[in-house]
Structure 1
Amino acid sequence: MRFRRTAVVLAVSASLLAPATAEAAPSGGAPPGWVTLTESSLEGVHGTAPDVTIRNVLTVTAAGTALRVRLSNPFGATAMTVRSVWAGRQPSTNSPALAPGSNHRATFGFRHTVTIPPGASVWTDPLPLPVRRGDHVAVSVYAPGAPVDDHTFPPPATDTPGSFTSAGPGDAGADESGSAYGPFAPGVLWWTDAISAVSPARGTIVALGDSITDGYNAFGGGPRWTDVLAERMETLPPWRRLSVANAGISGNTVSVQPNPYDPTGQCCGPPAPVRLDRDVLSLPGVRYVLLLEGTNDLGGGDNAPPAPAAQVIDAMRTIAGRVHAAGHRIVGATILPMCNAAGSAKEQARLAVDAWIRTSGTFDAVLDFDAVLRDPADPTVIRADWRTDCYHPNAAGDRILGDSIDLKVFAR
């Protein structure tokens, strides 16, 4: 424990001396001791920011100090100039008010403003803001005229990411009372895509997936399955705990193909292999990747036909190879039932992919989510009391998934 504490102190000192830079190489992004406490993968660019401040709210999944925030401009055709960023703790998700004295103005290489080129990301300098698992961190960003790189999805009811917008114009980041802001917009985030800190957690699990990971339609008053996993991590001894970063995007595909739902691709993010570096491998402290994706490929839509099993398998194999090459472990989860008739081409493709996930040896471990949620009387569907629709578990189903994960999978 003494060695660990020393490493953490050195990591903080090194970062305080480092200038703000664009996103780091996939193999790292921070000195030892840093982990990613939360993530919200950006999915597209939608217009230009008005003269307002956006107070983004994310829930962290582990304790930490020397907190840093990552802002990204992955899809903007022009540079974005960030004029001001503040970060503080939010006692209640129902209010934009912050805990008195917790709000701190961020710097980038000791500067208050930063310009982020198209396709780039920047981290703030460390902030004197300690957090515990479950704390809500409010990141207030003032970047009028910037391209709006966002994350937007119909969210679950509990601990959902979201934002408040100031009445404008001007910079309202310093307002701890929350009086400058309007109502909460659940599931809407601009520019803020990750928070990291120096943490006693030994690393980060990044859940790479689609709407089932993102939390779409997880109705019923409970958290997403990734949040359940984070809750359970808190029950472990401190030296075994891991943070959980949610890299789910609704509508996303695991293979490189046109998006089934949106010909512009703006709703659903780049395919998983395209976004793997930015959304997974560049994050600090990555130790495991948990892959649950393929439903949208196999299901197809108006803009793309159903993908064959071989296409999905090849994409998963490629992702696993890149994760291993980066020095991380990868856990594969089987694809959930999709209401396709027994014997149909879609159901046969799903069963083929799941059989490959279970038996190929490509993954370091397998979570059989299909077996957990399928209806014993009709294995082509999720059990009725655990689903919202054909593709998505409800909050009860998410709780079952999160509780079903054997934590020993993450013991190495």
Structure 2
Amino acid sequence: MVKAGRVLVLLIVLFFGATATTATARTTPAPASPVWTGTWETAPSGTIAALPGAAVRNVVHTSVGGTAVRIRVSNRFGSVPLTLGAVTVALRRAGGGPAAVAGSMRVATFSGVEAVTVPPGWDVLTDAVPLAVPAAADLLVTVFTPADSGPATYHRTALQTSYVATRGERRAADEDGTAYSAKTHYWYYVTGVDVRGPAAGSVVAFGDSLTDGNGSTADANHRWPDRLAERLQGRRLGVLNAGIAGNRLLRDGVGPSALSRLDADALSRAGVRALIVLEGINDIKGTPEASDPDAFVDAYREIVTRAHAHGIRVVGVTLTPYAGYSAFTAAREAVRQKVNALIRAGGVFDAVADFDAVVRDPASPERIRPDYDPGDHLHFNDAGMRALADTVEPAVLG
């Protein structure tokens, strides 16, 4: 058995001895297969009450396309085995909502069978599903859970409306979305989508709420990783969003710390060639606060070392301003400035994207530019998200 992110394409039998961890989920090695590339990701941030008997139709947005698809389903933070009665995938009909494009609905299998039980602490990957998936398209990934499998692994800050059929039996494969009358703003169980095709690899955006998209318009795919994906379409690079609002570099916060979740949420994802790291502001302003810049650099160096072992380049991002936010103090600002100086000095990352320099207010550099500020003085609106994405030079991604 090995740590999560390794491909799992087999039926997992009921296994009560498995124990969940906050560091990584576990999977087993898979046989040799064609090259896959990640087109979408979300990092699980915790658990929420399950919806037994319901089918959740998760809406996810691709970055690159392919001729086949496979879905990652997670019980990483679950406390008991998760029973999946059905998993389906389809193209979303134009105009939004829960209805599928006619003829695009596919039933996913696990080693040839439709139902699977996932032990706590584990992820599973479906078999390859033949489906022509365009770039920048919405997919409907539906998960039917027939029984109460305990707390559901989920992503809290989806900024995307998904749909629920409360009586989900036999509804997972519905092309008509009529049964999906309830809405949710979380992603349940689904944590990744890979495509098989001509893509050149993937880039993981690894961070906290700034990467997760807080401040951007919901249901619009205007997070900075989404905007970066738009810029990289000509290079056929997938972009995976491994941001978790509230996440921290050095300590567990919302979700495991960056160091703890690095393998599961970044290094093990399909086709990864570059990692963009924006983590640390929650350590500076959190409780207990981190005030030693060297501790940040040590953590960044560990991330780089572990990424290099997988042949992955690492782009470091400077920490952005937040004066005006409730947790701001002059002492914490001094720490941010020192951390940024160490990042800019080089010798830590393979390349640097200076987000701070791009979004700070020239008249008050400890603050975000007013036209990028959604009003909380910490996160970024749609214009600010685009500015962040434009800061990443494609050439540094390898």
The answer to whether the superposition gives a TM-score over 0.5 is yes
SS at match of 2:27: coil
Matched, 1:253 2:253: no
Say which SS state the counterpart of residue 153 (structure 1) adopts: coil
SS at match of 1:133: coil
Contact 1:41/1:193 (CA < 8 Å) preserved in 2? yes
Change (3 A) 1:314 1:115: same
The one of 362, 374, 381 equivalent to 2:367 is 381
Verify: 1:105 aligned to 2:107, yes or no: yes
Q: Is 1:230 paired with 2:234?
A: no
Q: Does 1:406 align with 2:390?
A: no
2:203 maps to which of 202, 205, 208: 205
* Mapping 1:91-102, distance limit 5 Å: 91-92=93-94, 94-102=96-104
Instruction: Give the Å deviation of 1:93.
Output: 6.2
CA drift of 1:200 comes to: 1.1
Give the 3-state SS of the residue equivalent to 2:200 in structure 1.
coil
1:4 paired residue number: none
> CA separation of 1:38/1:312 partners in 2, compared to 1, >3 Å: closer, same or farther?
same
Residue 87 of structure 1 pairs with residue 96 of structure 2 = no
Give me the whole-angstrom Cα distance separating, in 2, the residues matched to 1:258 and 1:247: 15
Cα contact 1:298–1:308 (8 A) shared by 2: no
Instruction: Give, as a single letter, the amino acid of the residue that structure 2 aligns with 1:229.
Output: L
Cα 1:57/1:366, change in 2 over 3 Å? same
- Shifted more, 336-345 versus 90-99: the winner is 336-345
Matched, 1:281 2:267: yes
Q: 1:128 to 1:251 in 2, by over 3 A?
A: same
2:320 is aligned with 1:339: no
Q: 1:119 to 1:107 in 2, by over 3 A?
A: same
Structure 2 counterpart of 1:244, from 234, 239, 245: 239
Partner of 1:177: 176
The residue that corresponds to 2:165 in the other structure is: 166
SS of 2:388's equivalent? helix
Change (3 A) 1:328 1:270: same
SS in structure 2 of the partner of residue 128 of structure 1: strand
Q: Within 5 A, what are the aligned runs for 1:116-195?
A: 116-143=118-145, 144-146=147-149, 147-153=151-157, 155=159, 160=160, 162-186=161-185, 188-195=186-193
* 2:301 alignment counterpart: 317
Q: Counterpart of 1:45 in 2: which secondary structure?
A: strand
Is 2:53–2:166's contact at 8 Å kept on the other side of the alignment? Answer: no
Partner of 2:18: none
Question: For the residues of structure 2 that align with 1:231 and 1:47, how far apart are their CA atoms?
Answer: 35
373, 382, 385: which one aligns with 1:395: 382
Is the contact between residue 75 and residue 123 of structure 2 (CA under 8 Å) also seen in structure 1? yes
CA contact (8 A) 1:166 1:181 kept: yes
Alignment of 1:61-72 (within 5 A): 61-72=63-74
Aligned to 1:366: 352
Residue in 1 that maps onto 2:10: 19
> Which one of the candidate residues 292, 314, 318 is aligned to 1:308?
292
Code of the residue aligned with 2:336 in structure 1: it is: R
Q: Within 2, Cα distance between the matches of 1:296 and 1:136?
A: 31
Superposition deviation, residue 317 in structure 1: 1.6
Would the alpha carbon gap of residues 202 and 169 (structure 1) be closer, same or farther in structure 2, given more than 3 Å must change?
Answer: closer
Counterpart position of 1:270? 256
The residue identity in structure 2 corresponding to 1:90 is: R
Q: 1:103 to 1:318 in 2, by over 3 A?
A: same
Residue 377 of structure 2 aligns with an amino acid whose one-letter code is C
Is residue 74–residue 149 contact of structure 1 (8 Å, CA) maintained in 2?
yes
AA aligned to 1:251 is G
Q: Matched residue of 1:150: which SS?
A: strand
Question: Quick check: 1:357 aligned with 2:343?
Answer: yes
Instruction: State the 1:65 CA deviation.
Output: 1.7
Task: Tell me the CA shift for residue 154 of structure 1.
Answer: 6.4
C-alpha displacement at 1:391, in angstroms? 1.3
State the superposition RMSD in angstroms: 2.3
Q: What do residues 185-234 of structure 1 show as CA deviations (whole Å, max 9, x unaligned)?
A: 33x11100000011211100000000000001224967111111111112
Query: For each residue in 1:289-324, what CA deviation from the matched residue of structure 2 results, as whole angstroms up to 9, or x when unmatched?
Result: 0101111111114xx334432322222121111111
In the alignment, the residues of structure 1 paired with residue 76 and residue 393 of structure 2 have an alpha-carbon distance, to the nearest angstrom, of 35
The question of whether the paired residues in 1 share the 8 Å contact of 2:354 and 2:391 is answered with: no
Deviations 1:328-370, CA, capped at 9 Å, x for gaps: 1111111101217999211111011111111131211100000
Please tell me the residue identity of whatever aligns with 1:310.
Answer: D
What's the secondary structure of 2:97's corresponding residue? coil
- CA displacement at 1:20 relative to structure 2: 4.5
What is the DSSP-based 3-state SS (H/G/I as helix, E as strand, rest coil) of the residue aligned with 1:48? coil
- Cα distance per residue 1:115-152 (max 9 Å; x no partner): 11111111000111111111111111111312311101
- Tell me by how many angstroms 1:395 deviates: 0.8
Kept in 1: contact 2:56–2:188 (CA 8 A) = yes
Counterpart-to-counterpart distance in 2, 1:297 and 1:150: 23
Deviation of 1:70 after TM superposition, in Å, equals 0.4
In structure 2, relative to structure 1, the CA distance for the partners of 1:408 and 1:310 (3 Å cut) is same
Relative to structure 1, the CA distance from residue 139 to residue 29 in structure 2 (aligned partners, 3 Å threshold; closer, same or farther) is farther
Using the TM superposition, give the Cα deviation of residue 91 of structure 1 relative to its aligned residue in structure 2, in angstroms: 2.1
**Number of aligned residues:** 373
Aligned counterpart in structure 2 of residue 36 of structure 1, from 35, 38, 44: 38
